[in-house]
Structure 1
Amino acid sequence: MEQKAFVSLILASMLAATLHADQSQNDSPTSNEPSTPSLESTSKDAPSTPTMLNPVSAFAKKNAKLDSLNRNTYTLDKSQITDKGYNQSTNIFQYMPFVGLNDTGLGSNIDLRSQGARANTSVQVLINGVPSNMLDSSHGVTPISTLSPNTIESIEILPGGGAVMYGNGTRGGVVSITTQKRYEKPFFSAGASYGNIITSTGNNINADAKFGTKLRSGTRSPIYVSLGAAYIHQGGPRQGDLTQGAQANGSFVIDFGDRASLDFSLDYFGGSIKTSPNNSFQITPNPSKNDRDKAGYGSLHNTQHRVDASLGLVAHLSERSKLDVRTFFHLNRIDYVDSTTNLALYMNAFNNVSANQNGSFFDDKKAGVIAKYDLHHDKGRFIAGLESIYNRGERAMNQHIFWQGDPVSMMGQQVSKYDHTMKIPFQGSKWSNAAFAIEKYDFTKRFSLTGGARYEWAYYDIDVAYDSTIAMTMGNRPMQIPTTAKGSLQDSLHNYALELTPSYAYSDSGALYLKYEKGFFSPSPNSLLKRDGRSYTATNLKKEEYHTIEAGIKDFFGDFLSLSLSAFYTLTTNEFYTIGNAHSLGGVSYNNYDFTQRAGVEAFSQQFFFNDVLHFSESFTYVDARILQDNGSKTNRAIPYTSSYKATLGASLSLGRHWNLWTQHSFFGAQKDIVGGNIPAYSLSDIGVETNYGGFSLSAGVRNVFDTFYYSYYNSDKSDPIAGYGFLIGAGRTLFVQGRYEF
């Protein structure tokens, strides 16, 4: 009993850090057409991006090709977002082909090609053209949930690669989210939506408005302006879960004749997030639908602020060439306002144990400049670029656990008071500098070859400290147990990427391609140091590199069928992985798998009937993601938190000029968690109706029609009851309605 009481107190002390991690469950993105290039182009007059998901056959036929750099891209436009009445931006990705959402306990990250727990560092997310992944990989959740769905103009997906153009962390692919566009004439839009989770207590309310216009028309220097605002009220399926916030954005573009343009965009989110820790299997060993609305064992409250700003100048050096230079700034900060928790679950010998982390925070800042030269020549296209990005990540855990009560026996003494304070400030910066070049050469009208290379140098500067003091009253004698440690590291890494893609256009609408890409991962500062008792030492991780081979075809048959199919194989050497975190019983450890593989296929098709009155779309993704060799020993384990397949099915039916019926379905394969526990497969289905009269539109429907039970987070590691051994249940059947007005 004495040892159990002492261990219970230590466990409770470590739990506060877990609450620190649980608090970082929010995200956010955005982007801007005039100031942020799409995955395909680098300015407004570059060739258009293939929009394989647009349900208009003539448009799809025109764009159902590889882009001008032989890359396989997929696009979701604004109408396909607003028509579905999404209340949360994360819901959009549940139904997108090839895209998954991965939650390892801290919030959802976008996943492509089964990156699993590495999704936050192996899928690059661009918000207004700015990389928005957090530098802190251990707590990093890309802030997509701070973005109101109705502010999104488009989402572009580049599955599996892009290392030459986009650099570090693109093994899974690149996602670009855009929120702004040019308006040639006055435009106004306003809307409101409401969603009710029938099976629990959560309600969602969104409201937004946007205005855009063109000023100084008829002159050689017109100005394009847009302003927008949104209110977000997101209730979760659990009692007490509520995110409230406001988003504001704006942009302007000035054209100086035909020779140059200057653009600026700004997007801001400020909000309050109230939630609780992940549910524990210790309390609910066999979760069911009846447990959806149960809050975690505690109460957490934080605030979040995000700023994305970009300033760019595009100079047309000739009719075929231009120079695009832009600077940007990104901020994502989470502050702990009131995080007081009862820890009795982990301290069976004590009652009324309180812990708070007030004053703790996460802060991620990014500033940089990117310059691109783009030349369309007689035989193809050439792009060269330079970029310099400085990223600084800070976090501080200020934890205080306090208990005082009737004496209990511990270590042969009667303990009547326990007071544990812990302060762990961390500062890590990464300054990345890169040069790259890509050439697409058309040997004939049918055959082209794209090749490129990138060199990247990253400099690291890290400072971390650990200060812990345990004060106890044993009998009538007070005692203290202090522990301190400090560490610092300066280091630099050199990496390079290569790409080679031949493509053959066998018809006006169809093309075959074969791609090879060599990419890399440049680690986050937090993974370069580890604490060993009273000192910090370097983790000495090996350099991670990957090699991808991909073959694919895209075509449009007649006016009714589009089809894309690709197969890929990615071999990664020295893939980084982490066991536990700073709050786990055994601490945190970093290591490399010798070899991992991801082999799979991606298929997408659309069919249009009766002059697009009836429209179907289907997609299927299969990925075999596994560890081939670990620490010199061959193995065949599945990479944790990777689903073997995802399939989507959608259909829409136009009823006259004003009504449209639609349905969408997603099927997700089973997964393994960190200790090999089974996360069951599940499917989600939505149905809805939309009507349009003039500038008014109304959408209504039901999400998760069949009230499917599924886990959005799952960890069955019994050896880690604080940082692991928990779960979150996804939302049940939900009604939604949305009204909009545009002119």
Structure 2
Amino acid sequence: MNKKLLLASLLVCASTVSLGKENSNFIKLEDSVITTENFETTVRDTPANISIITGEQIEKSGAKDLVQVLQNVPGVSVKRYAGTIKFDIRGLNSMYSDRNSLITLDGVPVSASQISNLPLESISKIEVIPGGGAVLYGDKAIGGVVNIVSKSAMDKNFYGNVYLETGNYHYGKKGFDTGFKVTDKLLTEVGFTNSNPSAWRHGEKYEKNDARFRAKYLLENGDIEFKYTHSEDENRSGVAVPRYVSDNDRRDPGKLSRSKHKSDDYYLKYRKEIQKDLEFLAYGNFYENKRSYRDGDDVRKYGKVQLKKTYMDSNYLIVGMDYLDDEIKPYEKIAKIDVIAGTTDSNGENGKKKYMEFGNSVKKNYGIFVMNKINYDKFQFTQGIRYDKAKYDFYWRNGSLNDHNKIGTKDHTKYGNYSLELSGNYLYSDTGSTYLTYTRAFRTPTIGEIRYTRNSEKLKPQTQDTIELGVKDFVYNTYVSLGTFYKWTQDEIYSTIPPEFTGMVNYNIGDTKRIGFEGFAEHYIGNLTLNTSVTYLHHKVTDGKYKGSYIPSVPNWKVTAGANYDITSQFTVGADWLYYSNSYDLDDIANERGETVKGYYIVNMSAYYKFNNGITLTARIENIFDKKYDEYAGYWDDKYEGQKINRRQYYPAIGRNYTLGIEYKF
């Protein structure tokens, strides 16, 4: 099966390359990229297999969320789970996306849940760099970076848009953005969105209100930018259920869990070209998320400062530093005698009690980095090094998986780590480049991990060495990007799930390796655009208790194909096909059950029409053939029959669904 799939994939790539007859304008190679350095460069000058999705592409696709936007990007696995989007870059497991793949919003590290229902109308573009970001961002850039660039206030006297979307399963969205000049130098914009993502299972509800304010002050050779977002979410989401439940009705949510929270997000950036050869950049973020029905509010403070010095005409040096303060606040900080979770008294009833103290659990990370780029004839050489210091002060939570002697006590630990990047990029023609890159990346425990379960403070940092070789070029009218890589991860941090509980949920499983290939081709024939991508990933645990096991919840194959046709300059239709191969249950690190998560494919279609009066119409159907597959499978305790039994459970994926949208721009 794998050989046939590989052959078919290569034939698709080859066919798209061979169809072209005339040269294109090579615009994809000149697309600007900011994620790799925080200063603008181009796709051609970036030694990575980068993917860029523009705001225009998002609009024409009719996508309703980031899953639909990113599902065709090579090297990336993205799925929905309980109202949250999960990312996986190059086989590090999408269920742990906030730990191994760095998601950033305007360069600021964020959680997947924070951007799960981000209004797509507020996005300028998305840059995906598999394997990138180790020097610039440090911690968690193990898989790579997904950087979402939000829109800024525009240099126009008056402008705006109003939009409305509807769909089945209670999906809906409405909102507006409007901006105007206060003075010739001061630009402002306000916006609001009310969204109700698809509540596919019975009784589910997802609702978010998102209010935005943006301002930009234009300087000579620079600008000052401020963004503020206030969000309020209220959700009722289903849980994973046993097959005897989901077979009877895949839309049965099991039990509904409720969550409600409010967040405030402040962002400030200062950019200035001090001299012709000297650029300065500084930006910071304050984010606070207040939860109801769950333990702990989140507070994050982030700041980064960079300086870019150009020397000898085209060479440049970037130096910078950043700081992250990540904090979890409990509802109560009062010291008191309380029941220890998961215990019982001598009669087997009420539980043991002890004196407990609780306070803020904090992770503080300090980083400093240097990057240097040398251009010599057709060669570009990049060198980068980074050092991070992470310090933790935390209180052990009152949970049944914690050491009973530690619950309600304060603890601390710290880590020191470094990242490296060495790359060579050869511009062998006017359109083509080939690169070879070595990176060393790391990740340390999140503050949530380290306070959650016993012995987490003894975790070793996870480190990773990657070698990547790739090429980007235009062949006739086809843009081609190919990359292959080898990733060696030491002391990989993994989370197990009962009943395979071994004494601590988060632990180092040992060393792992991943060998992969990513190919993407986009071909242009008049008004027709064809694209295809192939991702292959071989992954294994190479030492320790689980030596020889494959990484759970990571498929070996991902293949996509799509077509967009401009019927007129105003009317575009499209379709895409997505395939994932088999994988193992999330908790089956020993591979005892086999590849029980079966592969699947889905087909989507979209249409876009733009009137001359500023109105656009969009339509999209996802999963046209109503394929039945699961976003998650694994063992957990089953209480649906009135007794606690460990049983395999599933989180069913959404069935066929549609979206209709209308937008007016002025």
TM category (shorter chain) comes to: 0.7 to 0.9
Corresponding residue number in structure 2 for 1:600: 516
Q: CA deviation at 1:203?
A: 2.0
Q: Which letter maps to 1:644?
A: N
Please tell me whether the aligned partners of residues 427 and 464 of structure 1 are also in contact (alpha carbons under 8 angstroms): no
**After superposition, what is the alpha-carbon deviation per residue over 1:234-264, rounded to whole angstroms, capped at 9, x for unaligned?**
2322101111121112211112323x42211
- Equivalences for 1:190-205 in 2 at 5 Å? 190-196=162-168, 202-205=169-172
- Do the aligned partners of residues 213 and 244 (structure 1) sit closer, same or farther apart at CA in structure 2, a change above 3 Å counting? same
Corresponding residue number in structure 2 for 1:313: 270
Percent of aligned pairs sharing the same letter? 22
CA distance in structure 1 between the partners assigned to 2:448 and 2:345 by the alignment: 36
Q: What is the TM-score of this pair, normalised by structure 2?
A: 0.84
Q: CA deviation at 1:208?
A: 2.0
Corresponding residue number in structure 2 for 1:462: 394
Q: Secondary structure at the match of 1:500?
A: strand
Corresponding residue number in structure 1 for 2:107: 129
Corresponding residue number in structure 1 for 2:531: 617
Corresponding residue number in structure 1 for 2:206: 243
Give the alignment partner of residue 160 of structure 2, picking from 160, 185, 188.
188
Corresponding residue number in structure 1 for 2:323: 388
Corresponding residue number in structure 2 for 1:735: 658
**After superposition, what is the alpha-carbon deviation per residue over 1:272-318, rounded to whole angstroms, capped at 9, x for unaligned?**
1012332234x53xx44x5221121x332221223321112223210
Q: Which letter maps to 2:297?
A: D
Give the alignment partner of residue 81 of structure 1, picking from 38, 44, 58.
58
**After superposition, what is the alpha-carbon deviation per residue over 1:544-585, rounded to whole angstroms, capped at 9, x for unaligned?**
211000000000134x2100000000001111122237x997
**After superposition, what is the alpha-carbon deviation per residue over 1:143-186, rounded to whole angstroms, capped at 9, x for unaligned?**
22231222222111011132111101111100111221342223
Corresponding residue number in structure 1 for 2:123: 152
CA distance in structure 2 between the partners assigned to 1:318 and 1:411 by the alignment: 72
Please tell me whether the aligned partners of residues 697 and 739 of structure 1 are also in contact (alpha carbons under 8 angstroms): yes
Corresponding residue number in structure 2 for 1:546: 464
Corresponding residue number in structure 2 for 1:293: 251
CA distance in structure 1 between the partners assigned to 2:180 and 2:163 by the alignment: 19
Corresponding residue number in structure 2 for 1:208: 175
- Do the aligned partners of residues 102 and 724 (structure 1) sit closer, same or farther apart at CA in structure 2, a change above 3 Å counting? farther
Q: Which letter maps to 1:265?
A: K
- Do the aligned partners of residues 580 and 570 (structure 1) sit closer, same or farther apart at CA in structure 2, a change above 3 Å counting? same
Corresponding residue number in structure 2 for 1:335: 292
- Is the aligned partner of 1:496 residue 2:430? no
Corresponding residue number in structure 2 for 1:120: 98
Q: Which letter maps to 1:187?
A: Y
CA distance in structure 2 between the partners assigned to 1:571 and 1:412 by the alignment: 50
Corresponding residue number in structure 2 for 1:679: 597
CA distance in structure 2 between the partners assigned to 1:645 and 1:424 by the alignment: 48
- Do the aligned partners of residues 102 and 656 (structure 1) sit closer, same or farther apart at CA in structure 2, a change above 3 Å counting? closer
CA distance in structure 1 between the partners assigned to 2:535 and 2:399 by the alignment: 48
- Do the aligned partners of residues 528 and 400 (structure 1) sit closer, same or farther apart at CA in structure 2, a change above 3 Å counting? closer
- Is the aligned partner of 1:441 residue 2:378? no
- Is the aligned partner of 1:450 residue 2:378? no
**After superposition, what is the alpha-carbon deviation per residue over 1:373-403, rounded to whole angstroms, capped at 9, x for unaligned?**
01233132221101121111245699999xx
- Is the aligned partner of 1:693 residue 2:611? yes
- Is the aligned partner of 1:101 residue 2:101? no
**After superposition, what is the alpha-carbon deviation per residue over 1:397-435, rounded to whole angstroms, capped at 9, x for unaligned?**
99999xxxxxxxx9999x9x9799999967421111111
CA distance in structure 1 between the partners assigned to 2:567 and 2:452 by the alignment: 62
- Do the aligned partners of residues 585 and 520 (structure 1) sit closer, same or farther apart at CA in structure 2, a change above 3 Å counting? closer
Corresponding residue number in structure 1 for 2:8: none
Please tell me whether the aligned partners of residues 460 and 491 of structure 1 are also in contact (alpha carbons under 8 angstroms): yes
Corresponding residue number in structure 2 for 1:628: 542
CA distance in structure 2 between the partners assigned to 1:546 and 1:454 by the alignment: 14
Q: Secondary structure at the match of 2:56?
A: helix
Corresponding residue number in structure 2 for 1:510: 432
Q: Which letter maps to 2:309?
A: L
- Is the aligned partner of 1:262 residue 2:229? no
Corresponding residue number in structure 1 for 2:491: 574
Please tell me whether the aligned partners of residues 270 and 304 of structure 1 are also in contact (alpha carbons under 8 angstroms): yes
Corresponding residue number in structure 2 for 1:370: 304
- Do the aligned partners of residues 103 and 692 (structure 1) sit closer, same or farther apart at CA in structure 2, a change above 3 Å counting? closer
Q: CA deviation at 1:598?
A: 1.1
Look at both structures and tell me which one has the larger radius of gyration over its CA atoms.
Answer: 1
- Equivalences for 1:41-52 in 2 at 5 Å? 42=38, 46-47=40-41, 49-50=42-43
Please tell me whether the aligned partners of residues 124 and 170 of structure 1 are also in contact (alpha carbons under 8 angstroms): yes
- Do the aligned partners of residues 733 and 716 (structure 1) sit closer, same or farther apart at CA in structure 2, a change above 3 Å counting? same
Q: Secondary structure at the match of 2:488?
A: strand
Q: Secondary structure at the match of 1:309?
A: strand
CA distance in structure 2 between the partners assigned to 1:312 and 1:188 by the alignment: 23
Please tell me whether the aligned partners of residues 83 and 206 of structure 2 are also in contact (alpha carbons under 8 angstroms): no
- Do the aligned partners of residues 738 and 726 (structure 1) sit closer, same or farther apart at CA in structure 2, a change above 3 Å counting? same
Please tell me whether the aligned partners of residues 439 and 452 of structure 1 are also in contact (alpha carbons under 8 angstroms): yes
Q: CA deviation at 1:114?
A: 0.8
CA distance in structure 1 between the partners assigned to 2:135 and 2:225 by the alignment: 25
- Which residues of structure 1 form unaligned runs of 5+? 1-36, 51-64, 134-140, 197-201, 337-359, 402-409, 469-481
CA distance in structure 2 between the partners assigned to 1:334 and 1:671 by the alignment: 34
Give the alignment partner of residue 34 of structure 2, picking from 24, 34, 38.
38
Corresponding residue number in structure 1 for 2:190: 227
CA distance in structure 1 between the partners assigned to 2:332 and 2:580 by the alignment: 36
Q: CA deviation at 1:42?
A: 3.3
CA distance in structure 2 between the partners assigned to 1:171 and 1:490 by the alignment: 24
Q: CA deviation at 1:703?
A: 1.2
